[in-house]
Amino acid sequence: MNITGNTILITGGGSGIGRGLAEAFHKAGNQVIIAGRRAKALEETAASYAGMAFQTLNVEDPAAIQAFAAEITRKFPTLNVLINNAGIMQVENLTAEPVDLTTAEATIATNLLGPIRLTAALLPHLTKQKSATVINVTSGLAFVPLTATPTYSATKAAMHSYSQSLGFQLKDTSVQVIELAPPAVATDLMPGHAENPRSMPLAAYIEESMALLTANPDAKEILVENVKPLRNAESSGQYQAIFGMLNGAH
């Protein structure tokens, strides 16, 4: 992926990693469109950068995704990069009685079905571009789960697998697939993340990720140093130790 000269759609672009990526890609010389549920957050972000556009989107709604894809490609015919970043992360008690699947179902709809549906809706357009990219934002928790957020971790593992399959199926097209797997980053994705001293500062995460994208335009994965212990936990033989450290297991 060339780091400049693109028309980029970023879901969840009004806050956190999505906003950080939107700002960085805008500064790098790209047309950026941010999407998300909260119009006010989108508007505030876009207002800070001349030319940045925004449009509301509920990625849980299949019909809304289809209508959004049709409108966004009409408004921005040069769209050639999709960044699937929107996500939710919530604590779940799997042993609660009675079982309440509300959080699990919402997490799957947002974190897994949302990007799959949006990618499917935009692929016919992207494959017609001379050069296009789909970036799926997953997580280090795709490789070692945080047991307090089981469905979040599971959806990120699923998106890791989906990204690999998508990339293989698109290997003879103009569309590149990149997985961006962050470590814990200081955002408001979940209460306490922003204040946790173990969370990587957002600005540092964005800076390192953009540097890696610039240096490795053909990369399939973008992994900052902080996430590598999670990404490589199994191959390094450290899975149980890292699982225990992450989850307080004894």
Instruction: Report the pLDDT value the prediction gives residue 184, as an integer from 0 to 100.
Output: 95
Instruction: Report the pLDDT value the prediction gives residue 250, as an integer from 0 to 100.
Output: 56
Examine the pLDDT at 193 and tell me if it is beyond 90: no
- Flag whether 188 is in a domain: yes
Instruction: Write the pLDDT tens digit of every residue in 71-103.
Output: 999 999 999 999 999 999 999 999 999 989 999
Q: Which domain holds residue 96?
A: 7-247
In whole angstroms, give the CA distance from residue 55 to residue 36: 7
Across 121-146, average pLDDT: 98
Reference 124, options 111, 113, 134, 135; nearest CA is 134
* Residue carrying structure tokens 């899975």: 239
Instruction: Report the pLDDT value the prediction gives residue 71, as an integer from 0 to 100.
Output: 97
Mean pLDDT score of the chain: 96
CATH number of the CATH domain containing 213: 3.40.50.720
- Flag whether 208 is in a domain: yes
Say whether 162 is catalytic.
no
Q: What does the DSSP 8-state code read for residue 232?
A: T
Reference 209, options 58, 25, 76, 84; nearest CA is 25
- Flag whether 80 is in a domain: yes
Examine the pLDDT at 174 and tell me if it is beyond 60: yes
- Flag whether 68 is in a domain: yes
Catalytic residue among 152, 162, 205, 239: 152
In whole angstroms, give the CA distance from residue 132 to residue 92: 37
Residue 210: CB atoms within 10 Å: 18
Reference 129, options 222, 5, 214, 24; nearest CA is 5
Instruction: Write the pLDDT tens digit of every residue in 34-77.
Output: 999 999 999 999 999 999 999 999 999 999 999 999 999 999 99
- Flag whether 1 is in a domain: no
Number of domains in the chain: 1
In whole angstroms, give the CA distance from residue 56 to residue 33: 10
Element (H, E) at 175: strand 175-180
Q: Cis bond leading into 191, ω under 30°?
A: no
Across 182-209, average pLDDT: 89
Examine the pLDDT at 123 and tell me if it is beyond 60: yes
